[in-house]
A and B are shown apart, each in its own frame.
Chain A
Amino acid sequence: MDWSLLLQLTLNGLIVGALYGVVAMSFVLIYKASQVVNFAQGEFLLVGAWVCWWMLTEWQLPFWMGFLLTLAFMTAFGLILQVVVLRPLIGEPVISVIMATIGLGIFFQALMKWIFGVFAKPFPPIFTTERVNLLGLEVQTVYLLSLGISLVIMAGFAWFFTASKHGLAMRATAFDQQVAQSLGISVPKVFAMSWAISAVVSSVAGIVVGVVNGVSSALSFYGIKVFPAVILGGLDSVIGAVLGGLIVGVLENWAQYIDSAWLNWGNMYAIAPFYALILILLIKPYGLFGTKNIERV
């Protein structure tokens, strides 16, 4: 066994997994607040990354300015989606809501391909040092940056949900909509806010991935990789989402290692999380931290 390669892969897995965790967190945010399973989560990454790329390359804005403008745009984007598409569907069956988000997903994916083309495009370089040495491992700076950003976002989420008024309102809504309403919380506002925050946070992840790998429609696959992560962690648990993301990130890298060393099946990197997903659904469908839903008649 090649231990240093395995270590390197594990580190890669943790870095990518942290990003999965961030996306999974924003997925869980929407699910918790408004009980909507968002199949268009990956398109948030895609739209955010493309918008940022467009501002940096076409308008030649400095990075921080383009970044902030993208966040502003994504806030509006999330709000508009919720109000225009999801709000009329409140009270409709789960299938309809899932289908609406799927429809949104393919719509925006195709729209982005139409506007920006199908080929990956690199971000303008942001940092000068390409690699640093960390505990004997070569790590790209952008990877470290992405890990740092993920940690900041996670800390931000923790603060938001435990200390801020809006975060508490959101938790109350997730717990019981009617009680929340009777306490003076505007539930439609909470729904809209959860979509806006989710879109913003996802787009940050999208920009980070875009800076590392270039922007292309492959970004939207992060939205699908989110499912193994959230199912593993439990659909309505923020901590579970982070942990699930990390595990999925490491798992796919290990699967790739095992595959290249012994199995030679190919493509295990992309498929292993889905085998894991089926297994989890069979054994423990509510995940590690999810609340078990007991139904009473």
Chain B
Amino acid sequence: MADLAPAGDYRSSYREDMTIFPTRNSRLAVLAGLILLCASPLLLGRYELGILINIGTLGIAALGLNILVGFTGQISIGHAAFFGFGAFASAWLHERWHIPVALCIPLAGIMTAFVGLIFGAPAGRLKGLYLAIATLAAQFILEDFFARAQWFTGGVAGRITEPFSLGSWVADREESYFYVVLAYVVVMYLGAANLIRTRDGRALVAVRDHYLSAEVMGINLAYYRTLSFGIASLYAGIGGALYAHYLLFVSVEAFNILFSIQFLGMVIIGGLGSVMGSLMGAAFMVVLPEVVQAGADALSGSAIDRALKLGASISFLREMAVGAAIILFLIFEPDGLARRWRLIKSYWKLYPYSH
């Protein structure tokens, strides 16, 4: 019932049906939300802003993965490697070629997209679990490359990155860097929402829904599969570059398989095939460890803490929470937070007459 339009919402053309924000109230809500976000550096502390920045950077990469997994039906277990490639590419471009950081971020995205296309070319022929395994191999190969390519990643020592700057404005603190991330999030999410509405976007969805029918209808399967891999890598690269210039340090070990799985978890938890769901999933995955930490802190010193060694093993607890969250969502809410959100919205839209 969630997809029914309420009474009084007349759509008389295809164009009207395809608008991203269909009603005046929804446009106002988006505007209000943006204004609130713009004001948040004045309202929130550094810790909360840091969480928001993480949600933004990871959310961009998760959106890329969602375009690949949720819209095209391809699976990738190597997303963190591409995310990491973007981070290193941006740092390398700045240090080696002295390109300003503001330019490095989109360039790193493009570089990552090319690497994604290289891995995506064989991926265009594969699907389902074969692709999953191929991307798993890509994850290990890229991780190995990071550890070995000293000229690019700084090797085991990692690489120090410069803060984002535009003219004389330097975004070296949470309060200022937040705006950079926010701008990218808005641009990338609008881009994805619009991509889905185009001919190419519909082709991707057709490939997901029934690839044989799609091929019969004249959609070039290999082309669109490779394309979606490229787009996913572009998003991962930009997310990674933003991540690099926030932390100001990129380490080789950070982009392991667990990180890749977390990206997949974001997409599953947020909702496969939902643009805003990617952001919700990223938020969930960023907040979850903090909640686990807070829970352990609340119990610290108590008998449970002493019996289970909560404090010392907090990182394992976080990993367990990630795994459990993925499994529970798959079993109980396979369409993710996006569907929950839609249900809540439609409940309030039709409030006293919910049926």
Chain A residues within CB distance 8 Å of chain B:
37, 85, 88-89, 92-96, 98-100, 102-111, 113-114, 224, 227-228, 231, 235, 265-267, 270-271, 274-275, 277-278, 281-282, 285, 295, 297
Between-chain CB contacts (< 8 Å), 19 pairs = A37-B129, A88-B331, A99-B264, A99-B268, A99-B330, A100-B330, A100-B331, A106-B323, A110-B317, A110-B320, A113-B319, A231-B133, A235-B129, A270-B140, A271-B141, A271-B144, A277-B137, A282-B122, A282-B125
Asked if residues A278 and B322 are in contact (CB atoms below 8 Å), the reply is no
Contact of A103 among B137, B272, B323 (CB under 8 A): B323
Digit string of B321-333 for contact with A (CB within 8 Å is 1, else 0)?
0111111001100
A85 touches B327 (CB 8 A): yes
The residue from B73, B136, B148, B212 contacting A95, defined by CB atoms under 8 A apart? B73
A92-B334 in contact (CB<8A): yes
CB 8 Å contact bits of B197-233 with A (1 = contact, 0 = none): 0000000000000001100100000000000000000
Main secondary structure of the interface of B (DSSP, over half): helix
Complex CA gap A167/B212 in Å reads 35
Q: How far is the CA of A231 from the CA of B134 in the complex (A)?
A: 10
Tell me whether A107 and B323 are in contact in the complex, defined as CB-CB below 8 angstroms, given that A98-B132, A114-B313 are known contacts. yes
Instruction: Type the 1/0 row for B145-178, where 1 means its CB is closer than 8 Å to any CB of A.
Output: 0011000000000000000000000000000000
Residues facing A in B264-312 (CB within 8 A) are 264-265, 268, 272, 309
B139 closest partner in A (C-beta): A274
Q: A95-B73, A95-B272, A271-B140 are in contact. Are A100 and B327 (CB under 8 A)?
A: yes
B136 touches A227 (CB 8 A): yes
Give the contact-size bracket for chain B. Answer: 35 or more
- On whether the beta carbons of B122 and A278 are closer than 8 Å, the reply is yes
Given the interface pairs A103-B327, A110-B319, the reply to whether A278 lies near B134 with Cβ below 8 Å is yes
Contact, CB under 8 Å: B324 / A103: yes
Chain B, Cβ-Cβ closest to A266: B148
CB of A183, distance to nearest CB on chain B (Å): 28
Q: Is B69 at the interface (CB under 8 A from chain A)?
A: yes
| A98 close to B137 (CB less than 8 A) | no
Q: Are A114 and B122 in contact (CB under 8 A)?
A: no
A89 touches B330 (CB 8 A): yes
Tell me which residues across on chain B come within 8 A of A108, comparing CB atoms.
323
| Identity of the chain A residue whose Cβ is nearest the Cβ of B74 in the assembled complex | A95
Query: Which B residues fall within an 8 A CB radius of A?
Result: 69, 73, 75, 77, 122, 125-126, 128-130, 132-134, 136-138, 140-141, 144, 147-148, 212-213, 216, 258, 261, 264-265, 268, 272, 309, 313, 316-320, 322-327, 330-331, 334
Residue of B nearest to A227 (CB): B133
Asked if A111 and B320 sit within 8 Å, CB to CB, the answer is yes
Known contacts: A102-B77, A111-B316. The answer to whether A278 contacts B128 by CB under 8 A is no
Please indicate the chain A residues that have their CB under 8 angstroms from the CB of B136 in the complex. Answer: 224, 227, 274
Beta-carbon contact of A281 and B320 below 8 Å = no
A77: min CB distance to chain B, Å: 15
Select which of A92, A114, A266 is within 8 A of B317 by beta carbon. Answer: A114
Q: Is the CB of A274 within 8 A of B331?
A: no
Q: Chain B residues near A267 (CB, 8 Å)?
A: 144, 147-148
> Is B126 in contact with A107, judged by CB distance below 8 angstroms?
no
**Are the C-beta atoms of B322 and A106 separated by less than 8 Å?**
yes
Q: Which of B137, B212, B323 contacts A295 (CB 8 A)?
A: B212
